[in-house]
Structure 1
Amino acid sequence: MAWYLVEITYVQEKMPDVRPRHREFLRNLAADGRVAVAGPLGDGSGGITLYQADDEAHLKATIDQDPYALEGVIAERTIREFKPVIGAWVPEES
């Protein structure tokens, strides 16, 4: 399993109507341990989510099912693998 940091930029006029379904989608992934943290940027232009997935192909298959992706809310999306080493939820290495 690997961690991925995904940043999206919203199509502003579409986002408000779809946001409840998007958040439910993320809540379900969080309950399954696939989302560590998610939320909008302070300026409201987009959001960031930290996902765990088998690989990037698995991640893309998952996030392509997000209501934001299905309903055209995402203007731009970047995906970067992330390697957490320090944090309250990160296991210490021996």
Structure 2
Amino acid sequence: MAWFLVEITYVREKLEEVRPRHRKFLSDLADQGVVALGGPLGDGSGGISLYQAADETALTEIIDQDPYHLEGVVAERTVREFKPVIGAWLPKES
């Protein structure tokens, strides 16, 4: 499994209407262990989420089902593979 950092920029006019469905979508993925964390940027221009997926193709299949994507809230989306090596959330190596 690989980690991916996904950043989106919002189409603000549609944001409020779609947000509840988007948060439910991410919440369900978090329950499945796919989303480690996610949330809006401090300036409200977009959001960042950290996903775990088999590869970028599998991730794209997942995030293309996000209501933000399906309902036109995403003005721009970037996906970058992330390789965490240090952090409290990482499993301890023995």
TM-score, normalisation: structure 1:
0.97
Where 2:88 maps in the other structure, the secondary structure is: coil
Aligned equivalent of 2:68: 68
Is 1:30–2:30 an aligned residue pair? yes
Aligned equivalent of 2:56: 56
Report the Cα distance in structure 2 between the residues aligned to 1:87 and 1:28, rounded to whole angstroms.
Answer: 24
1:37-48 maps to which residues of 2 (within 5 A)?
Answer: 37-48=37-48
* Aligned-residue identity in percent: 73
Stretches of structure 1 lacking an aligned partner (at least 5 in a row): none
Where 2:12 maps in the other structure, the secondary structure is: coil
- Alpha-carbon RMSD across the aligned residues, in angstroms, is 0.7
User: Number of paired residues?
Assistant: 94
Q: Which amino acid aligns with 1:28?
A: D
Where 2:42 maps in the other structure, the secondary structure is: coil
Give how far 1:87 is off. Answer: 1.4
Give how far 1:89 is off. Answer: 1.2
Report the Cα distance in structure 1 between the residues aligned to 2:12 and 2:88, rounded to whole angstroms.
Answer: 34
Where 1:59 maps in the other structure, the secondary structure is: helix
TM-score, normalisation: structure 2:
0.97
